[in-house]
Every structure is written in structure tokens, then in C-alpha cells.
Structure 1
Amino acid sequence: MITLRFAGAWAPIIALASLLAAHQAQAAPATAYVVLGENGARIARAVTSAAECPSLVVDGRGLAMTLRAPAGTEPQRPTRSNPSQSKPSMFDASVCEAALPPTAHTASIGGQALPLPPAVIRRIVVIGDTGCRIKLADKAFQACNDPKAYPFAQVAAAAAKWKPDLVIHVGDYLYRENPCPDGMAGCAGSVWGYGLDAWRADFLEPAAPLLRAAPWAAVRGNHESCARAGQGWWRLLDARPLVVGRDCNHAADDSVGDYSDPFAIPLGKGSQLIVWDSSNAPNGPMAPQDPRFARYRDTAAKIAALAARAPHNLLADHHPMLALSASEGKSDLPRFNGGNPGLQAAFRSADANLFPASIDLLLSGHVHVWEAVGFASGYPVQIVAGFSGTQEDIVPLPAKAPDKPDIAPGAVVTALSSWVDGFGFMTLARTGPAAWTAEVHDLKGVVVAACKIDGRTLRCDKGQVHHP
């Protein structure tokens, strides 16, 4: 055995060791994914605990990532919860990003391949309302420790196997707002609050296979408003640059941080997806003097301008404007509620028809069911896909729409299909310029219902899904 004892002989070995150590630090495990932004911009993101942003390789060449948000703890701010049931938001990892060239064919971060969209989007997965609900004010304590009671990881894995070109999440990613009460075994030990630990548990970890499978169009839900998980929303998922004052760190800036302009993602073949932010919208009426009214009227005008760019449009937000919801009435009969009167009033102040004629399909969440509604009265098809993990609504919707559905003025419902109290995901497979086959999958990926969408025409194979 020969031992080298002079410094010069050790130099190459020391240099190699240092290089390997630097590479290991840079290649520390990172959560990597792609979000789509304005005009279909492809944005690579990485959540990393390494000291520096990880390496990004595009078509065999290195591309620098920039720091979007450093690790750190934000001071406690007012939230929807009592101060004693809230806490400062700690983000123990940094978020890095880079705009991917539109000509990129391959991309990877730390050896992990990033999914890039094809020129024509033909296969879309739609999910929504995916977090595990722990909310003291509502006395809602979902059993986050039980994969049967909180099956989002299973839903995401099954959806990834479908091999989508695009994932649309219609909002509400984080629900672990408060600590699990003592004695509640189903959520005992669960992380809580709005920091990165809660984002990991509710989204980044269970969604991992679906983040690897396809790029995402992320819609902001009311649970990502500034008074809730807005800080994490801006760090992790919003497609726009993160700037001071729009980060939800200070309540004084919420009038800026709670709103975003809509943007369009081309889907190819004369179709596009328009994403808009309704996170701060009320569920009920909204007076014209309400500051939100002017905001959403402006949003409606901007949506119309975007919709004029393509003959066929899908419009995605969190709050359904043309859907039915059900709740327990005073008698044994359920009470049905329709539409969103506040948003409808704001949009009608910009367009008496509510939506431009080129908008065929509305995709939303918020109501914890799957539902599809078609009209004979000049309205787009409305689909609700808030059934992918959060504690479900259990009051069934009718197999046939009520004679007076009270969804919107003049609304005549011609098709209604729903699945209540079941977890899963929806897929959209393109069959024509404005034609899609929508299939509803349970958490194992089994198809339990199907609909045909052609422009603003909806035909479904069943009115109600009865599936264990």
C-alpha cells in the first residue's frame, strides 16, 4: 500500500472532493415542477433547502435559476383565525425559478426531468379542493392521518397514470389552518398553519407524482387569499413575478395581493385556457360600492379582451358562477342554491351576456362535489371539480335540475350530472376544435361518469353517480 504524504499529491484529491461536495449541495433533493403563465410561458420552479439554487439543464445546456423567495419566517399577520389559533409562517426552504425557452425540448433540475407541454394540448386532468380540512371555527377535523379519509395522494397518483398534457387545479390547496384538537386521533400530530410544512403536507408531497407528470395551470382559491395561505401561494404557485407588496406578508397590502389580472394559455388548434383569480370573491351578493365589485368588473373586461384572441375558450377560476349547490333545509328536503350573485352582478356590469360567446366551458371548484351543468339559454357549460381530497359535501344534488334552478337570470338547464360524497379527478380529452370528452374518475382511476362537450352543448351519460 502506498500513501502519498506530500501536499502536492493531495491537491487533485482535495479539489475533487470539494467539487463533489459542491455538486451534492447543489443537487440536494428539491421539489421541481413547471407552472404555465401568461401566453403559455413555461416557468420552472424548485423548492430547495440547499444554500444555492439547483442546476437547471435545458437541451443539454445549463441555465441559471434565480431566487424567487428566500427561506425565512414571516411575522404573524391577521388571518381568518383567532390570533391564538394562528402563528407566523415559516418557510424553511427557498423557491427558485427560471423561464424556460419556448423552443426547449427537454429540461431537468438536479437530474429530475421536467414535464413540458406539447404544442397542442389534448389531454387535461382537472382537480380541485385538495387539502385536508382542519378548521376550529367550523369544527371540521378531517382525518388527515387516514388515507381513506384524506386520499389526495392516491388521487394524484391515479391522475398521473393517465398521462396528461396539462393539469388544471381549480384552487384551495391548503386547509390545515389550525391545530388538531387534543383527543382527535384522525389528525393528531398534523402540521398546521400557513408555512411550508403545511404546504408540504397538504400539497407538495401528495401531489408529487402529478407535478412530475405534466405542467400545471394553477388557479387561486379562497383558501389562498392573503388572510389565509396567500404567502405560500405567491411563493410557490402564482405564475407572475413575486414582488414586495403582492406577497401577502402585510395586511396593509392585501388590496394589492388579493387580486391578479387574468391570463391566457394557448391550447393549440384555436383554443385557449383563461385563468382568473376570484380568491377574494364573496359567496353571496356584492354591492356596487364594494371595492371588490370594481375589481371584478375590470377582470371581466380583461377576460373579454383575452377571449377575443381565440374562437374557443375554457375559463378557469375557483368560484362557480353557474352551478347548483345543496345544503340541508329546515325540512327533510335539501335546499338548492345557484350561481354566485356577487360575481354575476360585477360581470354583467361589463357584459350584459355575462360571458363572451367564445367562452364555451367554465371550470371551477369551491363546492366539494363534481358537477356538470349545461344550458339552452346562451350560457357556457359549467363544471365543478372540487372533489379531490378535501372533506366532501354530502347533501346530494338532484338527478334532474329544479324547474326554477335560480342559477342565473334566464338560465334554462338542459343537462345536469353530479357525484356527491366521492373523491376523484376529472379528465378532458379533446375530440375536436371545441369538443371534449369529460370523464370522472374515482380515486383508483376507474371511470364512473362521462360527458360529451361540444362548444356550449353538454350531454352526460347519467344524472347522478352512485358509486361506493
Structure 2
Amino acid sequence: MPIPTPFPFRSPFHSFSAHAPGTVRRSRRAGPAPRALLALVPLLLSACASAPPPAPVGEAHAYVLLGEEGAAVARVVVDAPACPEIAIDGRGQPMRVRALPATLAQRPTASSPADSKPSVFPLLTCETVLPAGAASASVLGMALPLPRAEPRRIVVVGDSGCRLKRKDNEFQECNDPELFPFATVAAAAAAWKPDLVIHVGDYHYRENACPDGNAGCAGSPWGYGWDTWRADLFGPAAPLLRAAPWIAARGNHESCERAGQGWWRLLDTRPLLAGRDCDAPAADHVGDYSDPYAVPLGGGAQLLVMDTAATTWRGLKPGDTGYEKYRDTYRKLDALARRAAWNIGVAHHPILGVGAELKNGKLEWHKGDLGLQQSFGSLNPALLPSGMQAMISGHAHLWEQLSFATDHPSQFVAGISGSAEDTAPLPATLPPEAMPAAGVEVRHFSTWIGGFGFMALERMERDGPGEWRVTLHDRHGAVKNRCRVSGRSSVCELAQVQ
């Protein structure tokens, strides 16, 4: 959002406070000021008056992300020559640079070289870790949302960008808010007044240029630079970024061969390091993977956030980089899960979800992510640690709830916040051949196909620490379905939402 006034600038060469023009503050202990010094005052004031003012701030976006152990990171993306000052509990301090403006050399991407280009990030990215227990924080006149020790209202959005992809000839009408409704969804989600926002990944979809003559996406930015991140996320999501801190899960659209450079600059809470920034393709085996981390929710519950950007539904084999990396992820996930009685996993790819495409009049089933099933399953045939209560994911562009007769956590899928839907309607009861994984039996199943909106979770501690209410909302915030999570089981009022 444009900021009409410059950010506060403090010169490193002086720290005295301002007084009325023509006056000089004198120490009580000092004697009369020497006449020579007094003679210099008009000259000094004249020099100050003619000095150029600090460079003004142009575009600026401020938001808060939660990282490991729930640490809150205040971040600002700003068109300014230096990082602004942040006020925490009324005391100012400088923010530190996370990433300087840069034009990054074109690298191999998921698209052909002809449909790719260098990524341009013309703005400065700054950050500050907020101290636990801070009561207020603001930057550039914008109040920052602060985390609650026990968030009770949690919004879930996912798969929110506008799809522009030449390879599959998929060009969503980004210029039509009815057909790309993320701004409407984000405003409705913010109006629900959440304490916390979870985005389950795939923020960025405008990979290739809109074809000539296509009015639906004409003029849209494309590629992996800031202009596209602004159009897909920071512009439409502005009210939701102001409403509450975010937990940002990484999707496959943020892998290194796609929007990974922006992911590391803008959304990941870990340090931005050379070799892990997705700039050099030779280091993608580092930049494409991150350790899982826990965000405490209070009351014996925590969120476990996973980076699954580089998994694949085609599967992984022993010896593959991803296979070994995700085995390591499972081990660390299991250790984190043992620290709390109730654990809700957050991963872009649904390990226990199911979807379908209609081909030649028949449903072609898309089952749970095979790469994760193979790597996790090599360590635990049940796929997930026993301490997991539920999984929240995206990736499939539908809303879905699955609860199992077998010993598996409930699975929710919320890839419904803006990207074009691409999933065929599913039956009220899944046939045996559609089970999301081997050895899994679905007991309760609910879906919403073809709608845009968000999901919400509310704590129900009166009924026990493992009790949650889940509601499904359309793009305007109207409730479409209600569910109850109790331990590892869940059930919804409607099996098929219309």
C-alpha cells in the first residue's frame, strides 16, 4: 500500500531532540555559550534547512510470520533505500536487511526458456524477530498483528494464486474478481477475525505470459519476480495479512524451479543464505528442502509445519534425494510430535487425500501423495506419527474431509482460495479403489467441489483439549458445512456440499 509520508530516519551522527527554531538546548552545568559558537548557530541551522530530506517511502507491505517454536518475525517489503524503524511496545529500533533489491539471472524453470525470464525484486525486504510477550508493534504507521499464546480462531486458506500456464494451456481470467476471487476470500476471512492464519501453500501461479488477445488476463504480470508476487498474494491478501500472524506452508509452486526465489525472500522464516535461496540450480537439493517445525497452540496442542515442495505424486525411490530428505523429515516430525498431546500437521501435499479427473466419461483417481507415502511409509506403515490428530493440506483444488476406520489422523484439504478448480465431483461414498493409501479405510467423507472460500478451526476446550470445530466458508464468509474433530476422528454435517 502506498505510504504518503517518509519513514522516520535517524542520522548516525547525532541524537539530540528537536527544539523550536532558533533555540539551542544548554546543559544546566555549562556556563554561557562561547560567542564563536553562538555565531555558528545561524549557519548550522541554514545548512540543516537546505539539506535534502530523507528519501520517501513508496510501496510498502508489512506482515508477521510464525516460525520455529512460534517465534514471530515482523517483515516489511518496502520501496526505500534503507530499512525502516520498527516500534515495539513504544520503543523504536532498526529492522535488519533480509534481502536487497536484485535482478536474479534467469535459471532453468518448470517452463521452457522462451517462457521464462529473470526474476526482478526491486524492493527491499527487512525483518525483526519480535520478543515474546510484546504488547504492540508497528512499522511505517502500520500496526502489526501479534501472536496469541492460545489462538482460538484459525483461518485456513490455500492454492490462492491465478493460474497462467502455457504448458497446459491454462489461463485463468485474473482480471475478473468472480473468476479469480482471492481478494474477496481474503476480505471475508479477515472479517471472521482470526487469531491466526494458515496458508497451506501455492501462493504463486502466474508463471507464463497471458496470450495476445486474451482479455481475461491481459496485462497480467508473469514470471517469478515481485510484480507477480504482488498480484497473486500481497495485493489481494492485504486485509488478511493485517488481520493476524500467518503460518506459511510451502507448496510445489514455491519449489526452486518455480517461485522458490520469492519464497525464500518473502515467506520463509529461516535465515536467507546463499546456496539455499534457489538462485543456483546446482544447489536445489538444499533450497528445495527444510526441516519441519512446531508452533505451540497452548492447551497441550501444537501445529507441525512441513516443507513438501519437492515431493511428487509419481513417487520416490530409495536413493532419490527426495526419498532420503523426506525420511529425515519423518524422523524429525516424529520427535516433535512426542512433545505434545495433540498435533495438527500442516503440509501442502495431502498424504491421505483423494481427488479425481473426468476422462473419457470415467473418474481417474488422484490418491494421496505417493512420494510422501513411500518415504514416510518406509519408516512407519501407518504413514504418520501416532501423536498426529489431523492433517491440513491443499494442492487439490477442492475442500475435503476424511476420517478413517483405520488408525490414521483425519485429513482436511483446503485448496479453494483462488486458483481455478480442476477436480471432478466426487461420490458421497468412496469406492474401495479410491482409498487414498494402502491399508486405509475411510469412515466419514465430505467434499465441496467447484467453490471458492476458506476453512476455519475453533477450539472447543470445554469438551476436551482434542476437540475442534471446523467450518467451511464460501468466498463471502457464509458457512457451507460444519464439522467436529474429536481426537483422530472427524465428522461433518453434509457429505456433499452444494
TM-score bracket relative to the smaller structure: over 0.9
Higher mean C-alpha displacement, 391-400 vs 136-145: 391-400
AA aligned to 1:348 is: G
Q: 2:48 aligned with 1:15, yes or no?
A: yes
Match of 1:225 in 2: 255
- 4+ residue runs over 3 A deviation: 6-19
CA distance in 1, matches of 2:429, 2:159: 25
1:315 is the counterpart of 2:345: yes
Counterpart position of 1:430: 459
Deviation at 1:350, TM superposition (A): 1.9
SS class of match (1:440): strand
State the shift of 1:7 in Å.
Answer: 9.3
Task: Give the Cα–Cα distance (whole angstroms) in 1 for the partners of residues 281 and 115 of structure 2.
Answer: 17
TM-score when scaled to structure 2?
Answer: 0.89
Query: C-alpha displacement at 1:457, in angstroms?
Result: 1.1
Look up the match of 1:388.
417
| 1:361 aligned partner | 390
Q: 2:377 aligns with which of 348, 351, 363?
A: 348
Partner Cα separation in structure 1 for residue 41 and residue 162 of structure 2: 59
CA contact (8 A) 1:430 1:437 kept: yes
* Aligned position for 1:402: 431
Partner of 2:11: none
Q: Which residue is equivalent to 2:286?
A: 256
* Cα distance in 2 between the residues matched to 1:268 and 1:17: 55
Alpha-carbon distance in 2 for matches of 1:342, 1:142: 28
Please name the residue that 1:195 is paired with: 225
Q: CA deviation at 1:123?
A: 0.7
Unaligned runs of 5+ in 2: 1-21, 23-38
CA distance, structure 1, for counterparts of residue 50 and residue 491 of structure 2? 64
Distance in 2 separating the partners of 1:17 and 1:349: 71
Match for 1:448 among 444, 467, 480?
480
Report deviation, 1:335. Answer: 2.5
Give, in whole Å, the separation in 1 of the partners of 2:200 and 2:91.
Answer: 34
Question: In the alignment, what sits opposite 2:28?
Answer: none
Change (3 A) 1:63 1:395: same
Contact 2:399 2:413 in 1 (8 A): yes
Q: How many residues align?
A: 458
CA distance in structure 2 between the partners assigned to 1:359 and 1:199 by the alignment? 33
The yes-or-no answer on 1:67 pairing with 2:110 is: no
Change in 2 beyond 3 A, CA 1:453/1:72: same
**Cα deviations by residue, 1:411-438 (Å, 9 ceiling, x for unpaired):** 1111111111110000001113111111
In structure 1, C-alpha distance between the alignment counterparts of 2:118 and 2:107, rounded to whole Å = 7
Q: 1:357, CA displacement in angstroms?
A: 1.6
1:376 paired to 2:405:
yes
Partner of 2:471: 439
Q: How many percent of aligned residue pairs carry the same amino acid?
A: 52
Structure 1 residue ranges without an equivalent (≥5)? none
How far 1:29 sits from its partner (Å)? 4.3
Give 1:18-33 correspondences, 5 Å limit: 21-22=53-54, 25=56, 28-33=58-63
Q: Distance in 2 between matches of 1:133 and 1:248?
A: 22
Amino acid at match of 1:425: F
> Partner letter of residue 15 of structure 1?
C
Deviation at 1:111, TM superposition (A): 1.4
Q: 2:285, 2:321 within 8 Å by CA — same for their partners in 1? A: no
After the TM superposition, which residues 123-134 of structure 1 pair with which residues of structure 2 at under 5 Å, given as runs?
123-134=153-164
Residue range with higher mean Cα deviation, 348-357 or 317-326: 348-357
1:180 Cα shift?
0.4
Which amino acid is 2:415 matched to?
G
> How far apart are 1:261 and its partner, in Å?
0.4
Whether 2:148 is the aligned partner of 1:115: answer no
Read off the aligned partner of 1:141 and give its amino acid letter: F
CA–CA distance in 1 between the matches of 2:176 and 2:241? 22
8 A Cα contact 2:446 2:492, kept in partner: yes
Task: Give 2:191's match in structure 1, choosing from 161, 174, 182.
Answer: 161
Matches within 5 A, 1:256-275: 256-275=286-305
Structure 2 counterpart of 1:463, one-letter code: A
Is 2:489 aligned against 1:457? yes
Report how far residue 403 of structure 1 moved. Answer: 3.4
For the residues of structure 2 that align with 1:167 and 1:410, how far apart are their CA atoms? 33
SS at match of 2:366: strand
- C-alpha separation in 2, matches of 1:122 and 1:378: 27
Contact kept? 1:337, 1:406, Cα under 8 Å: no
With normalisation by structure 1, the TM-score equals: 0.95
Q: How far off its partner does 1:368 sit?
A: 0.4
The alpha carbon displacement at 1:120 in A equals 0.4
Q: Please list, as runs of the form range in 1=range in 2, the aligned pairs for 1:167-246 lying within 5 A after superposition.
A: 167-246=197-276
| Separation in 1, partners of 2:426, 2:139 | 45
